[in-house]
Amino acid sequence: MIKHIFTNSSGILFSRILGFLRDMMTASVLGANIYSDIFFIAFKIPNLFRTIFAEGAFTQAFIPAFSRSGHKTRFTTIVFTQLLFILMILSLLVTIFAEAITAVIALGFDEKTLDLAAPLVAINFYYLPLIFSVTFLGAILQYKNHFATTAYSTGLLNISMIISLYIAQGLDESEIVYYLSYGVLCGGFLQLITHIISIKRRRLGRFFAFKKSIIVIKSKLTNGFYKTFLPAILGSSTAHIAAFIDTALASFLVAGSISYLYYANRIFQLPLALFAIATSIALFPAIARAIKNSDQQSALKLLRKSFWFLSGLLLASTIIGIVFNNEIISLLFERGAFTNEDTKMTALILMMYLIGLLPFGLAKIFSLWLYSEQKQMITAKISAKSLVFNIIFSLILITPFGAAGLAFSSTITGFVLFFLTIKEFGFRLFYEKILKGKTR
């Protein structure tokens, strides 16, 4: 398992380093203004769904269902065909009704800004079917204990966007955001190509039979998968949905607020992805296997080790990030169009986000226990309650504190999420088996 954690962590680190280079170029070329806000709004929905698919929900539902299926090829083909068809139709609808959809996700934009943002929303949305295909193939590879392709291929998206920014230097800001958007699509194609190559090399194409497939509306083979997948979407994505809500509400604030939230959240997501998500990806198959074999003690032992390992890493990240928040933002972004005032605003928001790093990260691994016990619906309810708190506190804090208040409302969401997750896990079990480490 340690090897798999290292593979995922190193791949995420590689991608995030490229991501920071991309963000540094974006900040330098676009700064924090209405055009950067427009792009981040356009990229927000596909990026949200990317995290939902790639960082938990799909894999946590697919792998158990796939492993139990007695007709793996038919199961794989049906699920892939159904979901890809739905996402393609959804992408076409977004293209047709781009302005109306943009108005929903950026409620504070005026009519002129909506006209600028709508075409970019339509373009960026086509990244969604691409990244779904990538995640689907990645789940097959993960089932065969191959993590490297998925872990490292995310960097291709960042490389593609960096090249787009490099080519677009010197152009008007209104043109640069289009270059960036098409760079997103190119990155998605590159990720898909690498996964297809990896699938072929490992001769895993046998799990697909497209020549014989049709879009099956209903099948007993897939019922169990959808019953766990749909609740898992909400259950594993609270932090990202909270950030999405922040962005929508920030459209009512001064220009640049969406960008401040984006840059700060990108840094917040680094230790969360590098440590919590990488650990959960490697930990989930082992815990699920132990619980399936009625070996609860082994599962709890794995969970306890992960808890203390992750607590140390996340706590250290929180302290370093809060103490050096201004220096981190200045080093990464303060150049070109990104001013010192932008640095101060982004650093304050980063501090508000980082207070919630520990509860968000720990809730991630304890939710694995619930997923392994087929309690996806319970995790969905926990996430729904947490998001209600997020909306309430966002509405309370947005007027007096602006974007910083939105970030702190997400932190409150993290503490609520952790409390409710541990409550379902069992306070006594948490105290005796995790904190005290009793073996019986």
In this prediction, residue 393 carries a pLDDT of 95
- Model confidence at 43, pLDDT cuts 50, 70, 90, reads confident
In this prediction, residue 178 carries a pLDDT of 95
Helix axes 98-105, 111-125, angle to 10 degrees: 110
31 domain residue, yes or no: yes
373 domain residue, yes or no: yes
- What does the pLDDT look like over 369-413, one tens digit per residue? 887 777 878 888 898 899 899 999 999 999 999 999 999 999 999
DSSP code of 236? T
Total count of domains within the chain = 1
Alpha-helical runs (H) found in 206-277: 220-235, 238-250, 257-271
161 domain residue, yes or no: yes
DSSP code of 147? -
45 domain residue, yes or no: yes
- Amino acid letter at 167? I
Q: Which residues contact 433 (CB under 8 A, 6 or more apart)?
A: 300, 303, 304
423 domain residue, yes or no: yes
Domain that holds residue 424: 2-435
Residue 415's nearest CA partner among 403, 426, 404, 423 is 423
Helix axes 238-250, 220-235, angle to 10 degrees: 60
In this prediction, residue 89 carries a pLDDT of 94
Summary mean pLDDT of the chain: 85
- Model confidence at 94, pLDDT cuts 50, 70, 90, reads very high
Integer Cα distance of 4 and 36 in angstroms: 36
- Tokens found for residue 21: 């280079």
Q: Per-residue pLDDT averaged across 344-363, rounded? A: 95
- What does the pLDDT look like over 283-339, one tens digit per residue? 766 777 777 677 888 888 889 988 998 999 999 999 999 999 999 999 988 888 889
Q: Is the pLDDT of residue 200 over 70?
A: yes
Q: Is 250 exposed, middle or buried (0-12, 13-18, 19+ CB in 10 A)?
A: buried
Give the DSSP H or E segment for 144: none
290 domain residue, yes or no: yes
146 domain residue, yes or no: yes
88-115 exposure pattern, b = at least 16 Cβ within 10 A, e = fewer: eeebeebbeebeebbeebbeebeeebbe
145 against 39, higher pLDDT: 39
440 domain residue, yes or no: no
Output the pTM of the full model. Answer: 0.72
